[in-house]
């Protein structure tokens, strides 16, 4: 047997003499490389196996090297992210991708943390100090080599702790926001003092209001009478100026401003020095009224019960620890000084305050008049006593936060048997009153009856305020007017949801709520509706540093 090897490698094997194989035709044939005859000798097979062994060893060595590096990388990665490195190793070697595995592991860990409730969180918080930021969390996880399960529980604990801090900050911010609404700005306090000084030193500031030639208009029913009960000079000036500016017949307007003794001199001085030529105005002090004994006793009794109601609510909130157990933002309005303000509750005695008037438009001092109100004095109330709007800016009979259930305690049988749970309460602050019709009713006595009933029931019938007992006292005497006459609630933060077109169309916009327009806690775009009627160039306003 002879071998022939070419320069380019083994291409064929030639076997001579006795190794020849006869073909079917009796001739001699040659076997190609890689094939062997049935009777190939052992030497030929050994040579063939040796030729295949070298490439196989080289390929196997390369695969083992790659596998070694892959396993090393997986083990290092698993130590940081997998709860079970061996499980991660098996999954990744046998077909799982890094991204899929990490997602599965993380989902499983998050589900465990979620299903565990707060138990695991308590253990995490008690055993270690939680990272204060995401960067600290990453540093903690990489340096300590913790697995995904620990990562999930620690992340959950961090989020829950941050949620608690955010909620606590939100509660405190709301409390501080409401407390800020209770104070009197220095500028307004200064204005009252400066004007009182002007009243004492300047005879013009003590001049009669109105002038004697216009005094007869104060009781003339043919004029348009506006009643305002306030101790805020700046607020009163805005109501008067905005009403005159919006009126088509300002010469028919007669303003009746009632204030307390401490504010009387400053209020009188303001309107005496800043005279109004197109309308008639008077300023009355409560100390100047000659009350009948019955009315005097009734007012004192009313104010005492309202004071007890407000104090009861305040004590209840203190027991609930309002700093930690935040319930309803609306509850904080019961802490405002207006809760026990005489001028705030005196509106139920308007017929006694103005015995010679028949029909009036009543305005709160936190209102701004944007359109002519002349129609209201001609409005037929159909035998009713008060014309009032309902808060329907969101649709018919839609009054969020102003339904009877928001004012009254319907767990009391006294209330549930008398009132409708889902009924909308009418708005106080811009109302038309037919005083002649009022005097023929028992509205004021009914008001007192329910005040005493609330007192005897442990102050549990309604939330503090002038409106709840008025809703009951005026039951059956309310004439509903179009909502565009009175847009209320501009003193609440939710006012940002009110469309600008609704505000523009409102005849009277009312800053009811904590954020009064003379305070800085209100939204600037809303306050501007009030600021446009303040004369910031006025000598007294500029001296007191009042700015818009």
Please write the tens of the pLDDT for every residue from 266-278. 999 999 999 888 8
The answer to whether residue 457 is domain-embedded is: yes
Residue 45's pLDDT band (cuts 50, 70, 90):
low
The answer to whether residue 89 is domain-embedded is: no
Q: Based on the domain organization, do 136 and 209 belong to the same domain?
A: no
Predicted local distance difference test score (pLDDT) of residue 312 = 87
Q: Based on the domain organization, do 197 and 343 belong to the same domain?
A: yes
Q: Based on the domain organization, do 231 and 349 belong to the same domain?
A: yes
Instruction: Give, as one character, the DSSP assignment of residue 19.
Output: G
Residue 42's pLDDT band (cuts 50, 70, 90):
low
Predicted local distance difference test score (pLDDT) of residue 33 = 42
Most confident of 169-173, 386-390, 421-425: 386-390
The answer to whether residue 21 is domain-embedded is: no
The answer to whether residue 92 is domain-embedded is: no
Q: Based on the domain organization, do 277 and 157 belong to the same domain?
A: no
Number of domains in the chain: 2
The answer to whether residue 121 is domain-embedded is: no
Q: Based on the domain organization, do 241 and 156 belong to the same domain?
A: no
Average of per-residue pLDDT across 273-285: 93
Burial of 67-93, coded b for 16+ CB within 10 Å and e otherwise, reads eeeeeeebeebbeebbbebeebbebbe
Q: Based on the domain organization, do 428 and 509 belong to the same domain?
A: yes
SS3 377: helix
CA distance 296 to 294: 5
- Write down which residue in 166, 182, 198 finishes a domain: 182
Q: Which residues lie closer than 8 Å to 354 by C-beta, 6 or more apart?
A: 225, 227, 256, 360, 435
Whole domain around residue 397: which residue ranges?
Answer: 186-544
Average of per-residue pLDDT across 460-464: 91
Average of per-residue pLDDT across 356-368: 97
pTM, entire model: 0.74
- In terms of pLDDT, which residue wins out, 22 or 57? 57
The answer to whether residue 371 is domain-embedded is: yes
Average of per-residue pLDDT across 442-468: 94
Average of per-residue pLDDT across 400-425: 91
Q: Based on the domain organization, do 286 and 263 belong to the same domain?
A: yes
Q: Based on the domain organization, do 156 and 204 belong to the same domain?
A: no
The answer to whether residue 1 is domain-embedded is: no
Q: How many other C-beta atoms lie within 10 A of the C-beta of residue 6?
A: 8
- Write down which residue in 164, 182, 200 finishes a domain: 182
The answer to whether residue 74 is domain-embedded is: no
The domain spanning residue 358 has which CATH number?
A: 3.90.550.10
Mean pLDDT rounded to a whole number for the chain? 81
């Amino acid at each position: 047997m002879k071998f022939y090897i070419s320069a380019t490698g083994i291409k064929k094997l030639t076997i001579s003499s006795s190794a020849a194989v006869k073909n079917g035709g009796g001739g001699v044939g040659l076997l190609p490389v890689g094939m062997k005859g049935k009777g190939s000798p052992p030497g030929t097979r050994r040579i063939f196996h040796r030729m295949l062994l070298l490439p196989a060893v080289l390929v196997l060595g390369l695969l083992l090297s790659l596998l070694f590096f892959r396993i090393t990388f997986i083990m290092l990665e698993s130590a940081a992210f997998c709860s079970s490195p061996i499980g991660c190793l098996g999954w990744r070697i046998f077909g799982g991708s890094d991204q899929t595995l990490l997602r599965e592991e993380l989902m499983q860990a998050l589900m465990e943390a979620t299903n565990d409730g707060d138990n695991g969180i308590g253990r995490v918080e008690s055993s270690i100090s939680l990272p204060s930021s995401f960067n600290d969390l990453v540093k903690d996880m990489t340096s300590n080599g913790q697995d995904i399960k620990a990562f999930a529980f620690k992340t959950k604990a961090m989020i829950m702790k941050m949620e608690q801090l955010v909620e606590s900050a939100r509660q405190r911010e709301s409390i501080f926001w409401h407390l800020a609404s209770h104070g009197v700005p220095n500028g307004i306090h200064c204005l009252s003092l400066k004007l009182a000084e002007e009243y004492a030193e300047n005879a013009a500031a003590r001049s009669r209001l109105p002038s004697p030639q216009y005094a007869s208009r104060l009781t003339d029913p043919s004029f348009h009478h506006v009643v305002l009960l306030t101790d805020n000079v700046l607020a009163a000036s805005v109501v008067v100026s905005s009403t005159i500016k919006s009126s088509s017949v300002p010469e028919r307007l007669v303003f009746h401003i009632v204030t307390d003794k401490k504010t009387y001199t400053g209020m009188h001085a303001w309107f005496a020095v800043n005279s109004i030529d197109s309308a008639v105005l008077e300023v009355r002090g409560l100390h100047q009224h000659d009350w009948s004994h019955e009315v005097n006793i009734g007012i004192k009794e009313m104010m005492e019960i309202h004071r007890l109601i407000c104090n009861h609510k305040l004590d209840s909130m203190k027991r609930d620890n309002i700093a930690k157990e935040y319930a309803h933002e609306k509850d904080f309005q019961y802490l405002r000084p207006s809760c026990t303000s005489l001028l705030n509750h005196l509106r139920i005695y308007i017929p006694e305050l103005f015995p010679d008037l028949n029909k009036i438009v009543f305005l709160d001092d936190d209102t701004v008049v944007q359109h002519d109100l002349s129609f209201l004095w001609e409005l037929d109330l159909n035998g009713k006593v008060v014309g009032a709007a309902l808060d329907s800016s969101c649709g018919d009979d839609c009054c969020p936060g102003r339904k009877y259930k928001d004012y009254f305690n319907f767990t009391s049988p006294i209330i549930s048997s008398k009132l409708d749970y889902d009924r909308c309460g009418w708005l106080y602050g811009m109302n038309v009153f037919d005083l002649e019709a009022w005097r023929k009713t028992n509205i004021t006595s009914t008001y007192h009856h329910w005040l005493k009933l609330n007192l005897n029931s442990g102050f549990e019938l309604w939330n503090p305020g002038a409106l709840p007992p008025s809703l009951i006292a005026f039951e059956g005497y309310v004439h509903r007017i179009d909502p565009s006459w009175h847009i209320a609630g501009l003193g609440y933060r939710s006012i940002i949801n009110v469309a600008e077109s609704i505000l523009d169309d409102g005849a009277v916009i009312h800053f009811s709520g904590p954020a009064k327009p003379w305070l800085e806690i209100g939204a600037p775009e809303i306050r501007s509706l009030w600021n446009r009627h303040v004369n910031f160039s006025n000598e007294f306003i500029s001296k007191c540093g009042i700015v818009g």
